[in-house]
Amino acid sequence: MRFVRFDLDGRTSYGLIEGDRVIPISASPFERWQAAGAPIALDRVRLQVPVVPQNFYAVGSNYAAHIRERARKLGIAPEMPTRPEPGYRSASALVAHNDPIVLPRDTTSVQFEGELVVVIGRRAKHVQETDAFKCVLGFTIGNDISERTWQKADRTFWRSKNSDTFKPMGPWIETDVDLESLRTTVRVNGKQQIEFHTNDMLFGVARFIATITEYITLHPGDVIWMGTEGASCDLHAGDVVEVEISSIGTLRNPVVASLP
């Protein structure tokens, strides 16, 4: 199933995607829901981020080539993490599929990072790896937009990773996913920049859920962004960036300059 969150006639609702239509549902996918209302053409609705998470986890270093590439650019030795350690992002930076990524005035190097996003469906604490997927509702796509000058200069990721519009997420939540078969592709203006085996992570989804829930309760609607692979490149006003994950969908966002 594909759960979508959308605006129509000034109201935000959830629905299920069937072909090129949306079947509205009566509540969020984190509650009891049922079909509620006539199907709507998908191109008539405005997509919203599929969930606004209360807790927003993000894995910084989870693919080998990305860690080597970042170390090279920082002029330091690459250091592979020896255990899973999540970081945080902020919901204030989220924007939906098709929404613009706005370049702040004083940016010099804004780059994409295409990521698999885990959407938690059930409250979970002290979960074993073998049971981890029981608390997962499904998966969506994130673009962990990053300002590299600030990422290098600042003590935290507050503006390098969390400036307004820096966290595109969507287009929807897909519940039926075979993780091992997924491939992530990032395109800028239609040209492929990177393509990788999505599940080729240092620490996988189940391991992260088990680790987090050793100390922290996961809640319905929480998201875990799983990190990205390889090198990135600078985005400029006028670009269109697409993150596709096979069998989930494509998250597409235009890049614009901030107003003067």
Per CB under 8 A, residues contacting a copy of itself are 52, 54-57, 60, 81, 85-93, 104, 125, 154-156, 158-159, 162-164, 212, 214-219, 222
Instruction: Return the number of the residue (2 or 89) whose C-beta is nearest a copy of itself.
Output: 89
Contacts of 93 (CB under 8 A, 6+ apart): 161, 162, 163, 164, 165, 166, 167
Instruction: Return the number of the residue (154 or 176) whose C-beta is nearest a copy of itself.
Output: 154
Angle made by CA atoms 230, 235, 240, in degrees to the nearest 5: 100
Question: Do 120 and 159 contact (CB within 8 A), yes or no?
Answer: no
Nearest distance, CB of residue 186 and a copy of itself, angstroms: 24
Instruction: Return the number of the residue (90 or 250) whose C-beta is nearest a copy of itself.
Output: 90
Contacts of 149 (CB under 8 A, 6+ apart): 107, 108, 109, 160
Buried b (16+ CB within 10 A) or exposed e, 129-165: eeebeebbbbbbbbbbbbbbebbeeeeebebbbbbeb
Instruction: Return the number of the residue (42 or 212) whose C-beta is nearest a copy of itself.
Output: 212
Nearest distance, CB of residue 60 and a copy of itself, angstroms: 8
- Inter-CA distances, 241 with 149, 173, 256, Å: 20, 20, 11
Nearest distance, CB of residue 242 and a copy of itself, angstroms: 25
Question: Do 170 and 49 contact (CB within 8 A), yes or no?
Answer: yes
Nearest distance, CB of residue 18 and a copy of itself, angstroms: 31
Instruction: Return the number of the residue (137 or 188) whose C-beta is nearest a copy of itself.
Output: 137
Contacts of 140 (CB under 8 A, 6+ apart): 50, 51, 117, 119, 169, 170, 171, 172, 173, 174, 223, 248, 251
Instruction: Return the number of the residue (11 or 105) whose C-beta is nearest a copy of itself.
Output: 105
Instruction: Return the number of the residue (81 or 238) whose C-beta is nearest a copy of itself.
Output: 81
Residue 73 DSSP label:
H
Nearest distance, CB of residue 21 and a copy of itself, angstroms: 31
Nearest distance, CB of residue 83 and a copy of itself, angstroms: 9
- Pairwise CA distance, residues 87 & 59, whole Å: 6
Nearest distance, CB of residue 63 and a copy of itself, angstroms: 16
